[in-house]
Amino acid sequence: MQEKTFSDLIAGLTTGFTPVVDAGFFVEDYVPIDLSVNNPELQEAELTSASEYSIFLRKFLEEKQKKVAFGGYNEKRGLYKRSALFSTPVEEDLIRNVHLGVDIWAEEGTAVLAVLDGTVHSFQDNNNFGDYGPTIILKHEFQDLSFYSLYGHLSRNSLAHFKAGQQVKAGEKIGELGGPSENGDYAPHLHFQIIRDLGTQKGDFPGVACKRDLEKFLSNCPDPNLLLKIPS
């Protein structure tokens, strides 16, 4: 029998749609969105600010008659060009522009939920322009399997009541979505990422990779929708 991969093991930890945000949403309220460099609507709109992205997303959801947009894993994006945090290298394959998590786009203040039982590994406010803003990392252990989940772009208040080692339960509220003034200057959304090996990082981990390192990062950070199971 073929040995199960890390992705197989992750996928087996949930049995159906598992929400990571909550404002009374149902699975039918979700719609996938393409924010890649291949989306002609983004090319035409030339969006550069959080407010412009918010308007674009609001219009998209209204047209689709949905409440939550999601997607972005292994997606090459142009939206990071506005931040020197991602786009300073001269060599094309060193520019960090491929997204390693799933983004859940919803209204500011939407509750963020722990997807699995775990403990608080670390948290901090990554307050650079274009960064995560307030971020929480949970550690999960299932039998011999140990890994981490990262929740980024939260409100600053989300970090006020945690301490390292604190236990959390699946479905428990751990924070809420922050606005542009505190979430790295993005339209409100959650960056949710699975990480097998966190290394020595605390409260932070790359959520966007360059082409040269992409294979390594995708192996370490499988598709978070293996857990969420949002139909696409």
Separation of alpha carbons 94 and 116, rounded Å: 34
pLDDT value of position 174? 97
**pLDDT tens-place string over residues 163-208:** 999 999 999 999 999 999 999 899 999 999 999 999 999 999 999 9
Considering only CA atoms, which of 158, 142, 72 is closest in space to residue 108? 158
For residues 187 and 52, the answer to whether their CB atoms sit within 8 Å is no
pLDDT value of position 180? 95
Q: Say how many CA atoms lie within 13 Å of 133 toward its Cβ.
A: 25
Superfamily of domain 6-226: Glucose Permease (Domain IIA) (2.70.70.10)
pLDDT value of position 88? 65
CA distances from 39 to 118, 119, 130 (A): 37, 38, 21
pLDDT value of position 1? 42
Which regions in the chain score pLDDT beneath 70? 1-3, 43-46, 80, 82-90
The model's pTM: 0.94
- Cα-Cα-Cα-Cα dihedral of 213, 96, 229, 153, to 10°? 130
Average pLDDT score, the chain: 91
* Non-local CB neighbours of 26 within 8 Å, separated by 6+ positions: none
Q: Where are the domains of the chain?
A: 6-226
pLDDT value of position 42? 74
Which secondary-structure segment (H or E) carries 144?
none
